[in-house]
Amino acid sequence: MYRKFYGLGEKPFNILPDPEYFYLSPLHQQAITHIDYGLMNGDSLILLTGDAGTGKTSIIYKLVAEHSDDTVIGVIFNSAIGGDIVEMILRELEAEVPETPTPASYLDALHEYLIKIYTQGEKKVLLILDEAQNLSDDALEQVRMISNLQAGKDNLISILMVGQSGFRDRLRKARYSQIVQRIVVSAHLSRLRAHEIQEYVYYRLRQGGAEDPFMFFTEAAIEKISKYSHGIPRNINVICEGSLVFGYADDIKPITAEVVEAFAKERISEGLLTVPDCSGIYKDEDLGSYVQELEKRITSLESSVGIVKRTLVKIIKTLKRVGTK
């Protein structure tokens, strides 16, 4: 709609993760470097955390794209799904699932599969557990057991646990000490700083086909984007996309601070833009029903997003296989 008006080939601020639009801030690059080191070293457990919208899923896609040639990669996006997590891992790795469904038989089947890959000596195995903060205590214990699978001194599988910031607080509890002791490599994604927000906006505009990205937003508009996004890439995308729509509707070029503020305040008032540390506006008697309804909406959204994420991973793997032929 607004692309022709602003001279863009694509929408530069789509909220769906896209490897071609992935902006590598120093912290993102540092996280990827740490993870790559852990994979190269054959570490059994690797931890990546960050607030929602900081780019964790984009890093997952980047890892899949870069390592699928020499690594068997399985990605489980919805870690809250019930059932035996080892069975989910077997199916994700496309390994044979035993006819007798017991926790022991699942673990034996996984061990046998990993030994087979190991003896072939061609590829490593990486399991990525997204939204790891949703793993139950039983699932975490199974993850710990899987991380213990070895052939001599070599670990048979590397497990990357990707979770929100609160997952670190949970792991600090004494009952998780055994799994924490196996985490050798750890990285955390913080929010973008002011100058990084500006670079992020310009980078995505260039990727979208902008000849001169500096002509899209005034300096004051960038400051407002920084203020209302709180440095969260997903929020930046939402604000920039909405501001371009608002600007197009009123024939405004470049986007001004007033346009950004008008859009941001509208979304905040509708509860559609994340504002950290905001106080609740619901009365105590309404809070219970509100939380229940919100949980239902989140569960539905997680299920839909999980389908999209799995599809994107399959597309990335397919494109890599086609490109190597």
Domain residue spans in the chain? 3-17+192-269, 26-191
**pLDDT at 307 > cutoff 70:** no
The four Cα atoms 149, 154, 160, 166 give a dihedral, to 10 degrees, of 80
Provide the CB-side half-sphere exposure for 208 (13 A, CA): 25
* Domain covering 3-17+192-269 in this structure, CATH number: 1.10.8
On whether the CB atoms of residues 185 and 38 are closer than 8 A, the answer is yes
On whether the CB atoms of residues 203 and 55 are closer than 8 A, the answer is no
Average pLDDT over residues 56-75: 93
Average pLDDT over residues 307-319: 68
Sequence-distant (≥ 6) Cβ neighbours of residue 192 within 8 angstroms: 25, 200, 231, 232, 233, 236
Average pLDDT over residues 143-165: 95
State the burial class of residue 285 (Cβ atoms within 10 Å of its Cβ: 0-12, 13-18, 19+).
Answer: exposed
Average pLDDT over residues 31-47: 95
On whether the CB atoms of residues 188 and 49 are closer than 8 A, the answer is yes
- Tens of pLDDT, residue by residue over 116-145, are 999 999 899 999 999 999 999 999 999 999
**pLDDT at 305 > cutoff 90:** no
DSSP E strands, the chain: 45-50, 71-76, 124-129, 150-151, 154-155, 158-163, 183-189
Write the DSSP symbol of residue 96. Answer: P
- Measured CA distances, 13 to 23, 50, 173 (Å): 12, 20, 39
Given pLDDT bands bounded at 50, 70 and 90, which one contains residue 280? very low
Beta strands 158-163; 71-76: pairing state:
unpaired
Given pLDDT bands bounded at 50, 70 and 90, which one contains residue 299? low
DSSP states along 43-63: -SEEEEEE-TTSSHHHHHHHH
Given pLDDT bands bounded at 50, 70 and 90, which one contains residue 282? very low
Q: What is the pTM of this model?
A: 0.82
Q: What is the largest CA-CA distance in the chain?
A: 67
- Identify the pLDDT of residue 95: 95
Please tell us whether the domain made up of 26-191 is placed in CATH 3.40.50.720: no
Beta strands 150-151; 154-155: pairing state:
antiparallel
On whether the CB atoms of residues 260 and 221 are closer than 8 A, the answer is yes
**What is the C-alpha to C-alpha distance for residues 38 and 36, in angstroms, rounded to an integer?**
5
Average pLDDT over residues 35-61: 94
- Tens of pLDDT, residue by residue over 186-213, are 999 999 999 999 999 999 999 999 999 9
**pLDDT at 33 > cutoff 70:** yes
State the burial class of residue 262 (Cβ atoms within 10 Å of its Cβ: 0-12, 13-18, 19+).
Answer: middle
**pLDDT at 70 > cutoff 60:** yes
Give percent above pLDDT 70 in the chain. 84
